[in-house]
Amino acid sequence: MKTLHKLAPCFAAMMFLLPYQAAHAEAAKAKLPNVVILATGGTIAGAGASAANSATYQAAKVPVDKLIAGVPELSNIAQVRGEQVFQIASESFTNDHLLQLGKHVAELVKRSDVDGVVITHGTDTLEETAYFLNLVQRTDKPIVVVGSMRPGTAMSADGMLNLYNAVAVAGSKDSRGKGVLVAMNDEIHSGRDVSKAVNIKTEAFKSPWGPLGMVVEGKTYWFRLPAKRHTVNSEFDIKRINALPSVDIAYGYGNVTDTAYKAFAQQGAKAIIHAGTGNGSVAAKVVPALQDIRKSGVHVIRSSRVNAGGFVLRNAEQPDDKYDWVVAHDLNPQKARILASVALTKTQDSKELQRIFWEY
Ligand code: DGL
C-alpha cells in the first residue's frame, strides 16, 4: 500500500504527460515528408517458392500495400501512401506504359501534399523508365526509381532496404533538383547514367561516370551532380507528349547482315539505334543499307555495345556528316532509344537530333 501511495504522483504525472506525448508524436509525424509509392511490379514485388530461391521466383506478385507493410520503418521517415499502377515484369514495359506512368507522375508532383515520388519497378528496364522520366518530368521534386535483385521471400532479400532507402531519398530536401534518381544497393544514381550491369547480384546497377551519392541509415550523402539537362531544364514535357515514335535497336557483331536494320525500317521505325562494335563501328556490308534507310527518312543513330565509360566519336571511323547520321555520345543503345523517341516528338532534323544527344 505504501509503495502504491509513493507511486501515485508518478502515475498522475504520466496521465498528465501522455496527451502531450501523443500530441508531440502527431506533430512530429505531420512534419515528415509526404511520399507516394507507385508500384509497377518486378522482382521487388516478386515471390519465390522458398527462402533459398534468390533467383528463381515469379516477379510482379506482391501488391503495393504489402510492400509498404513489409517495411514498417517507413513510417519513421515519411508519410507514405501507395498506388498500384501496373503489376508487370519490366521486360514487358511498352511505350504506352511509359506514357501512362509519366503522365501520372506529372499529376502527382503538381500536388502540394506530395513531396516526392518513389516508383518500384522491375530491374530489367528500370534504367529506361528512369531516363525517360528524367527527360520529361518538369519538376525539381525527387522522383526515385527502385527495384530489387532478390524477391522478398529470399534470404538476404534486398528489396526492403532498397525501398526504405528510396523513400528516404525521395523525402530528402537535398535530393531536389538532381533529376530522376535510382536508389539501389545503398547507392544513389542518376536516372540518365545508370544501367543494370550484372543480371544476378544485388550490386547490379552501375553508372559509367559513377553514382551521385549514397544513402545510409536513411541519410543521403552526395558526391556528384548531373552534368546533362534534365527535368526542370529539359525542353521536353510529358504533358505535351501523347505518343512515342517507334525506335528500334540493331546489334553489331562479326558476320552481321543488314537484315534487322531493313526489317525495322520496313516495320515503320522512325530511327534505328546501331549498337555498334567499339566506337559504334558499322560493318562495310551494312553501310549501303543504312545509307538507303537514311535516304528514306529514317534516322540512323550510332551507339556502342561497349558501355563502360566511353562515348561514340562523331566522324571518327564513319563519315557521319556525309551520311547524315547521328551519334549517341555516351548513351548505351537502350538509353539512346529512349532519347531518340522523345526527341522525335519535337524534331525530325538530324542536326537538332545531334544537339539533343550532346545536351541530354
Ligand atoms: N523480370 C524482371 C523484371 O521485372 C525481374 C528482374 C527484377 O525486377 O529484378 O525486370
Percent of the chain's residues with pLDDT above 90: 88
pLDDT (0 to 100) of residue 174: 98
Taking only the tens place, the pLDDT of each residue in 321-352 is: 999 999 999 999 999 999 999 999 999 999 99
Of all residues in the chain, the percent with pLDDT exceeding 70 is: 94
Spacing, Cα 153 to ligand 1 middle (Å): 15
Measuring from atom 8 of ligand 1, which residue has the nearest CA? Answer: 122
- Tell me, yes or no, if 43 is annotated catalytic: yes
Ligand 1 nearest atom to the CA of residue 46, by list position: 8
Residue 230: exposure state from Cβ atoms within 10 A (0-12, 13-18, ≥19): buried
Final residue of a structural domain among 167, 200, 233:
233
> Which residue's CA lies nearest to atom 1 of ligand 1?
89
Pocket test for ligand 1, best of 43, 85, 120, 200 (most atoms within 8 A of CB): 43
Distance CA 337, CA 273 (A): 6
Q: What is the pLDDT of residues 149-161, one digit of tens each?
A: 999 999 999 999 9
Top pLDDT among 218 and 6 is at: 218
| Torsion region of 199: left, alpha or beta (phi above 0 gives left; psi -120 to 50 gives alpha) | alpha
Is 42 near ligand 1, meaning CB less than 6 Å away?
yes
What cell was used for 326? 547521328
Query: Does one domain contain both 286 and 215?
Result: no
Write down the pLDDT at residue 49.
86
pTM metric for this prediction:
0.93
For cell 541519410, what's the residue? 219
List the one residue out of 185, 202, 184, 205 whose CA is nearest residue 193.
205
Atom of ligand 1 nearest to the CA of 92: 4
Among the options 43, 120, 123, 153, which is catalytic?
43
Distances in Å between the Cα of 271 and the Cα atoms of 193, 275, 280 are 22, 13, 16
pLDDT of residue 24: 72
Does residue 95 form part of some domain? Answer: yes
Give the pLDDT confidence score for residue 11 in this predicted structure: 66
Domain boundary among 205, 233, 261: 233
Ligand 1 centroid to Cα of residue 123, in Å, is 5
Question: Averaged over 109-135, what is the pLDDT?
Answer: 98
Task: State pLDDT tens for residues 252-311.
Answer: 999 999 999 999 999 999 999 999 999 999 999 999 999 999 999 999 999 999 977 789
Distance 36 CA to ligand 1 centre (A): 21
- Name the one residue in this structure whose C-alpha cell is 546489334: 251
pLDDT in tens, 35-46: 999 999 999 999
DSSP state of 62: S
**CA nearest 105: which of 129, 71, 74?**
129
Q: Do 97 and 195 sit in the same domain of this protein?
A: yes
Split into its structural domains, the chain has a count of 2
Pocket of ligand 1 contains residue 59 by CB under 6 Å: yes
Residues 63-91: tens digit of each pLDDT: 999 999 999 999 999 999 999 999 999 99
Ligand 1 centre distance from Cα of residue 156 (Å): 17
CA separation for the pair 154, 167 (Å, rounded): 22
pLDDT attached to residue 153: 92
Average the pLDDT over each of 58-62, 156-160, 213-217 and give the range with the smallest value. 58-62
Same-domain pairing of 185 and 139: yes
Cβ of 151 below 6 Å from ligand 1: no
The answer to whether residue 20 scores a pLDDT higher than 90 is: no
For the CA of 42, the closest atom of ligand 1 is 4
> Which domain, by its residues, includes 122?
32-233
For ligand 1, say whether the CB of 88 is within 6 Å of any of its atoms.
Answer: no
CA of 124 relative to ligand 1 center, distance in Å: 5
Separation between Cα atoms, residue 206 and residue 105, nearest integer Å: 25
CA atoms 334, 339, 344, 350: torsion sign: negative
Which amino acid, residue 40? T
If asked whether residues 254 and 324 sit together in one domain, one would say yes
Final residue of a domain: which of 210, 233, 256? Answer: 233
Mean pLDDT of 117-125: 98
